[in-house]
Structure 1
């Protein structure tokens, strides 16, 4: 099997499992307990927090461990908006892009439905890019928080986050970025990016599902969504997932250490794969920005096919990939990301996304390109019978 759905999830790295194992076995203490087992767990949690902070270029106290990227996005968007509105009722707007992950989009819609916020949506261009001009125009008085993803999970387009954050900062508006797909491929230094909050998820990096983190800049108001024992400095209650935090920290450290070298190598492989698909599949259309895109994502529409039929044929040939966001798997609706980019609904339903981790090889992608050409040709021939 050639696994090309790394944007959905990645296998757990052996180094991560080894780092986690003590806290799944002998060192099982609750870090809130004041005895030796608890103190050992608390020390491991503190070390994990410091490691994540070092990878993000922030202070350990600015890291909140969560159950994953979805919770981190929810905490950022809802938590900042609600805290700022409590301090100033005139702050009743939320700004998101038209291509956000559902974790951000639905958080904004929740605020509108239950807390009276107005959701402003900034459009993207044909490549899925938010222009600084459009973003600046959408930053209205009363905006409590803005959220623009760092890199898109379906088409791989990378947003000019640092430039957008500067525009928001000039207006006194906190900017959150969903960096779940960017982690491991793009720089995550939050000072360089200029963001006030940033979300990551462990299972995109070689850690298990169920662990993530949110960076929140010091003094950024944040209303907790989960109440209870006051863990995470009162920002996210619940018994700490020590093993998950250790796993996340280990995975993030590994990918960040190897990031420049691996990103360059995989970018070259991705570009060769894109050329192979475009030259061997008649009518194939690359989606996302041709240059400003993740090294790990190559996404296409294949007009005249069904994306799901192409996926089934690819899997029959040993290539596993997807039609877009794993969160929308099984939906018959065209991708909202692609339609926001101006792709006609009928064409959007022919989408296929190939996404790789750092273990991908040229042989993998050469074989996948041949399989894709055969799969599309086969689906089209069936459609003409």
Structure 2
């Protein structure tokens, strides 16, 4: 089976599996004071330090979470409470000083659902900033919506479906001008685009280990100490922003994965871009109705996203799987839900356009790309009505 779904989850390298196996045999709780506990603590800290280094953050500014989704929730809800106070700290019936959240309709559901919860439970107001037909945020629209009643701006650094990379320095500069914190979901960025959190001007940045060949169940949030934030989980204070027993094995393995993923980003990106372009060139040549989605220049190197008029994506994916090729139509978090992509809708793409997303990794080869291109035109024709 050829695997073209790295954006959903990336296979664990043997070095990562070995690291996890070595760490999981330790028996001490990483918060215990005895020798076994301190051995576990050292492994956890080594993993956390490597995660921090991979995103250009200080180790003590990184909170390890149970997933990228948790990190995103901590950033959005925690910053909102930090800017407005928690319900317990606010006077009953008092208006929120900064009720507005700026985001786009092309976000991952981890962000959109967290914001929806704040709207329903806390009276937050969401203002959606426009994106263009490539999924790029409209900076003029963002500037027009920013004001001192905005709690935060949150957006994807790299769109997980179509691969568009947002103009991060410009977004941060606009928000800084009115003293508004910015959180970026960098889950699809880590390992593909260099990240320097300390120099970015960001308030918060979230990542996930399993997208870069680490274990499922490990995420992280880098948080600037310039902004107030309220934790989501209480009961132990093992970390500044998160309580709960420390997962030494998972974090140690995640650190190895982060170190590997960022060791030579430029060379890896060049190889992935070449494979992606080989695939897209072949699709354009053999499926004339296919439209490449996402920004054609500012895009993550391993993402090839196309739509085809009248394509039944679910049928196409089953046929691809039968032919030995694993791909997707969009976010794995929406897998099995037969509904139009909210990302494509935000970009103005008609629901009649069926999407296919091929996301590549370093284990893919030119031979696998060519084998996919041999069967793809026939499969698309069979699945198009």
TM-score normalized by the length of structure 1: 0.95
Structure 1 consecutive aligned stretches of length 4 or more whose deviation exceeds 3 Å: none
Give the C-alpha shift of residue 293 in structure 1.
Answer: 0.9
Aligned to 1:19: 19
> Hey, what's the Cα distance between the residues in 2 that align with 1:219 and 1:245?
26
- Identify the range of structure 1 (59-68 vs 11-20) with the bigger mean alpha-carbon deviation: 11-20
Contact 2:83 2:151 in 1 (8 A): yes
2:162 to 149, 155, 162: 155
Aligned to 1:360: 364
Aligned to 2:286: 280
**Greater helix proportion:** 1
Give the C-alpha shift of residue 230 in structure 1.
Answer: 0.9
Q: Would you say 1:105 and 2:112 are equivalent positions?
A: yes
SS at match of 1:195: coil
Q: Would you say 1:93 and 2:100 are equivalent positions?
A: yes
String of CA shifts for 1:191-230, please: whole Å, max 9, x gaps. 3432111111011111111111110012321111111111
Aligned to 1:226: 233
> Hey, what's the Cα distance between the residues in 1 that align with 2:338 and 2:46?
45
SS at match of 1:345: coil
Matches within 5 A, 1:94-173: 94-173=101-180
Aligned to 1:343: 349
> Hey, what's the Cα distance between the residues in 2 that align with 1:191 and 1:229?
28
Aligned to 1:264: 270
Identify unmatched segments of 5+ residues in structure 2.
Answer: 91-95
Contact 1:165 1:195 in 2 (8 A): yes
Contact 1:149 1:159 in 2 (8 A): yes
String of CA shifts for 1:258-281, please: whole Å, max 9, x gaps. 211000111121112111101101
Give the C-alpha shift of residue 140 in structure 1.
Answer: 2.9
Contact 2:147 2:178 in 1 (8 A): no
Contact 2:284 2:290 in 1 (8 A): yes
String of CA shifts for 1:8-50, please: whole Å, max 9, x gaps. 011111111112222211x221111111111111112222222
Give the C-alpha shift of residue 76 in structure 1.
Answer: 0.3
Aligned to 2:80: 81
SS at match of 2:352: helix
Matches within 5 A, 1:326-341: 326-341=332-347
SS at match of 2:222: strand
Aligned to 1:6: 6
Aligned to 2:42: 43
1:242 to 242, 248, 251: 248
Contact 2:100 2:151 in 1 (8 A): yes
Give the C-alpha shift of residue 366 in structure 1.
Answer: 1.4
Contact 1:319 1:371 in 2 (8 A): no
Contact 2:5 2:358 in 1 (8 A): yes
Give the C-alpha shift of residue 379 in structure 1.
Answer: 2.5
> Hey, what's the Cα distance between the residues in 1 that align with 2:48 and 2:382?
51
Matches within 5 A, 1:154-233: 154-233=161-240
Q: Would you say 1:298 and 2:314 are equivalent positions?
A: no
Identify unmatched segments of 5+ residues in structure 1.
Answer: none
Aligned to 1:310: 316
TM-score normalized by the length of structure 2: 0.95
> RMSD across aligned C-alpha pairs, in angstroms?
1.4
> Hey, what's the Cα distance between the residues in 1 that align with 2:379 and 2:200?
41
Contact 2:24 2:249 in 1 (8 A): yes
- Identify the range of structure 1 (49-58 vs 213-222) with the bigger mean alpha-carbon deviation: 49-58
> Hey, what's the Cα distance between the residues in 2 that align with 1:161 and 1:312?
37
String of CA shifts for 1:321-351, please: whole Å, max 9, x gaps. 011111111112100000110001122xx11
SS at match of 1:148: strand
Give the C-alpha shift of residue 82 in structure 1.
Answer: 0.7
- Identify the range of structure 1 (368-377 vs 94-103) with the bigger mean alpha-carbon deviation: 368-377
Contact 1:162 1:192 in 2 (8 A): no
